[in-house]
Structure 1
Amino acid sequence: MRYVILSFLGLFLIGCQRAVPTVGVIASYQKLVPQVVNKTVSIDFNLSYDSLFSYVSLQEGKVFFDSKNQPGVDFPLTLRAIQRPQVQIRSNGVVGIKLPVQVDARPSIAGINTGLIQAKSNLLLDLTWNWKDINHRDIRDVIFSYSWITQPEMRVLGFPVQVKGIVEPLIDRQIPEIQSKFTQQLSQITSMGSLTRLVNKLPMSFETPFGKIRFQGADIDMKDLIFQTHGLRGKLLIRTALALTDSVSMASSSKLMELRTSSNLLPFRLELSYRRLEDLIKKYPQFKNYQFKLSADTSSIFVKLNAIDGKKAKASIRLNPMLIDSAIIGMQVKSIDLEGVPFFVRGHLKRKINQSISQFRFSGSESLLALNQNVIGLKLADGHVSFQRLFFTDSGIGILGEIKGNWELRK
């Protein structure tokens, strides 16, 4: 008997606030937890330059210019990145990008191939950046220049010979073509197709103590993007909802489109299976000596507890989940059946169990705290949870609601 009391006290009081429910809305049975309707929410967006250049594959070793089969460049010339780019913020919306590269060239002079000439150079790219939203963005005035890190040289009989005077006129003659190539690559990177691939690489799912949450199939607009010292900053307008389920679902792709209005209310759909609830409970040491099972039928949730270690006491309890207010969920006892307990203490034990279960609370504020402490990349400030509808199914518990607050996504 002592084990039964302890187990139920632990099962329904771990992490819960103590209060007795007075009124509430009892959860309804559903075969499946209903879907939620997506809404447009604004999320502050910060993308580090390391992540940005990784997404566009501009990393060390990347060959981003090769004159082979390029019209207008009359000698073999390749430019290969030896470091990640550095971004410099200038005035009047001008952004500077400095990229250290390895230069390999094989120019010909008077029809004679000079052999391999190598050098290291800083490529400097200035451009005007004005990004309002996905349909109103202006990237123009691309200007290319360069400076030497190490002087151009070639090997003659195994000895290095500097040939800056030969190479610079040849490269200067190709600057318009190189600049045009950079402009084309920039246009390709900022095209709708490339941007769609980029947003589909952004983190849209996050690990939590309760499982993985994800933004379900989203429409996205990228607003007011500006370059700052450490990364790209702006706002993402996302028409979506948060979902947390045990079921494995195919990742849905996001679409880019202009979105004009937004709010700070994000709908969510939480579905926890009885199996996951059991796994979470089993992590607590006080339950290691007990076997219990959660299940449900169309009328209520059923809890069956088997005491072990030679104890014959068992309990079968039927519960009704209850929405007490907009941010608190409790439990209502429907029935208690005991086995292996002397009849003269059954009444007392039932009252104890009923009192313990009635004190159960699941708080939305505690859920938000767990998310902010455990989710990497997605943060919520001034958050508030509103539980709007509560369900139980044959396989788990479902909650529909909204989260209000200021969202931030960092990568």
Structure 2
Amino acid sequence: MSSTSSSATNSSRTTSERFIASAEAHSAHNYHPLPIVVASADGAWMTDVEGRRYLDMLAGYSALNFGHGNRRLIDAAKTQLDRVTLTSRAFHHDRFAEFCTRLAELCGKEMVLPMNTGAEAVETAVKTARKWGYRVKGVPDGRAKIVVAAGNFHGRTTTVISFSTDEEARADFGPYTPGFEIVPYGDLEALRAAVTDDTVAVLIEPIQGEAGVLVPPAGYLPGVRELTRERGVLFIADEIQSGLGRTGRTFACEHEGVVPDVYLLGKALGGGVVPVSAVVADADVLGVFKPGEHGSTFGGNPLACAVGLEVVDMLSTGEFQQRATELGEHLHAELGLLAGAGTVTEVRGRGLWAGVDIAPSYGTGREISEKLMEKGVLVKDTHGSTIRIAPPLVISKEDLDWGLAQLRAVLA
């Protein structure tokens, strides 16, 4: 193509198309985003580079539970930006102790180990469980096993994909890390059979998000808690997507009155402002670490602690949990009508979180997501026929109803 014709092609493209073409040319293709280029956002709404507004019904996979540009979180970040942003853990800073104390209190635990991303929290939990198993439980060196559930999504690091059943995440990334046993999600008897004297932990999501917002059978989580206590095994709950208000409770485990030994937190803990994650447990678990055995240059940095502390304060009132409960009941009632009409084959979830299986005759999850985007609503597909709905907890009922009306129109 001549330079003249190339220039003509570029000038005929929209601003979004030029951004997308540049991204496709110069970034690794590890995501398949919808063809929208966001320029700004506020609350539950995002605006693209052409000025078109979209209702965000994904909320950054629950990282934006409190909405885009939440004033309290932005102000907390701005104040801290003017003071100090990073010290590394080589030194103490004046936000660290309060963040750890308040987050531990929110979880009903004693200690916090701050990291940055959800995957880092999971990796940290794996190291914690193994160290605890050797030093506290007395498992012979090199024999620690962790039981996980099929369909899990705990991240995409080399160790984490070693116990994934998603071939898209696993293929071509071996050799894999040993030490994990995979059992069917929700199957308590399979879990019981898998636990041995060498088992140090059971690691599960109280609700499997990436798998399509799968809620386990009633009694499963209490059964896991009882079994792990009986066998002297840590119960690690990955609440990175399900926690911090998304399901109508601070933690999804609360719906069945369960308190795990270890909480894994992330996403919403950073308020959509900075990446913040944490492993939270009692001192008899996290106390196994000694200086030099684990760390992160940015983990627990002053900016992250300032934002995370504001998140903890916001959750302490119960306002967001209540909002997720009330709007979630409305969301699931409306989605249930679609299931009754045959356009949707199944709806799962809790609070403001739903996995919606689209009837095959209406299109794939990706096709429905693209059609919704054209109508000004943003969701994301998973596993072929499923779309996930998880709007910010600050969404108004009117905006939620408008988004659901667009879904009905697409499926009409």
TM-score band, normalised by shorter chain:
under 0.3
Task: Determine which structure has the larger helix proportion and give its number.
Answer: 2
**TM-score of the superposition, structure 2-length normalised?**
0.19
* Structure with the greater alpha carbon radius of gyration: 1
Provide TM-score, normalisation by structure 1.
Answer: 0.19
